[in-house]
A and B are shown apart, each in its own frame.
Chain A
Amino acid sequence: MRLLVLHPARRHAFGHGRLLLSNKVPKKGSVRERQARRRGATVIKSADEREHIMRWLILAAQGDQQAFAELYRATSPMLFGICVRMIRDRSEAEDVLQETYTTIWRRASSFDPAQGSALTWLTTLARNKAIDRLRQHRDSQLNDAIDLEQVIDEQPGPANGAQSTEEYRRLQACLELLEPKQRRSVREAFFTGATYNELALRCNVPLGTMKSWIRRSLLQLRTCLDS
């Protein structure tokens, strides 16, 4: 039952620390969520839904295939969105998604609710797989010109018009406090998985400048978020 102990600071994410391990099926959601679904968004925003995702992940760790299938159904559009955004090749993104879920199945037992939310665990795993793939690619194709046309999202906001979470709004507010160039670099880094070198080339600044922009931003973000 170790998995069920929640860090007090994380409890808010799971609906006041309640954990459902019943076989309750997720609710259909509010009118707003249903509308968002129709627009193509997968709404994994409510505490309820997060709770289900965590429950499925914990059950998957115990070898429950049905729970794993439910987890895939609920989270794959979000994780695939991440893979496609970062890899920029649908077929390769499918490979990365496949790797991501096979790893989720095999490593589900290493998920520890005390260390963070299930959703973060899943999205982090997908991003890491995508970044690994990007590094692999670039190592084998060093001569590839870096695509300067890669455009970062200039209009921050949750995708598909979905409702944002409190965590997102908080992070967004802290990002707003950064210098525009630094904010742009952080966002570019997050969405493209680029290395310092690549970012420096893309933004046409010396490597040292890029490093100090990003590092300063990260420190500022930490101060802002932890305050």
Chain B
Amino acid sequence: MLPVKDLQANRYHRYAGRVTMLLIVVNTLILGWELYLAYSADVDGIQTFFTRFGFVPVRVFAGERGVGISIISHLFLHGGFMHLLGNMLALWVFGRRVEDACGAWRYLFFYLFAGLMAAMVSAFILRNEDIPSIGASGAIFGVMGAYLLLFPEGKIQTLVLLPFLGIPVFLRIRAVWVVLYFLGLQAIPAIDIYLHGAVYSIGYWAHLGGFIAAIFVFFFLRPTAYRRYWSKLPV
């Protein structure tokens, strides 16, 4: 299941989505820089880059000097083109209307906040993790959670592979099902990590952490959207 497009229009600002687009551009440029490092610098260049700017809980708890920047920088790093594409597609699909409901400035800070919350939850659960975590997915799960809270009735055009047949079809699915589907995908491995100490290459707890941050979206809403929410009107 791949969300492709949010079918609803903006309500508050015709051009809302500029910060989302800016984030996509910044993430893409940084991936470009990573690729440049990987192909032109020495072999350890990209490794050093990830170690310095990726989020490593062990280094955070050890209080290593210069580790602070990784708390934010890891949100803008990706491990490859598909990693970036998946994240940015989700950011575009779910971010535009959340940005519209929050306003550009507050949305940017909400995005950072969700990313930080993801890092914090991840650091709590995986205290001894020494592999750098990278990716915007924690923040994007925050945005998805906010979307679920604000627009549960929203319709998302989703690319689905038909079971058994493997034929791709575009379906209009309610946002609540799309988001819950992705949340469900995180929950089982996250429990496995917590109970059995299983090792995965994906930061499931960071995703859940980002999702938790969505509860705070009400502090970031513009006044009209906030009032509409409490009036049970479509935000």
The answer to whether A and B assemble together is no
State the A residues within 8 Å of B (CB): none
State the B residues within 8 Å of A (CB): none
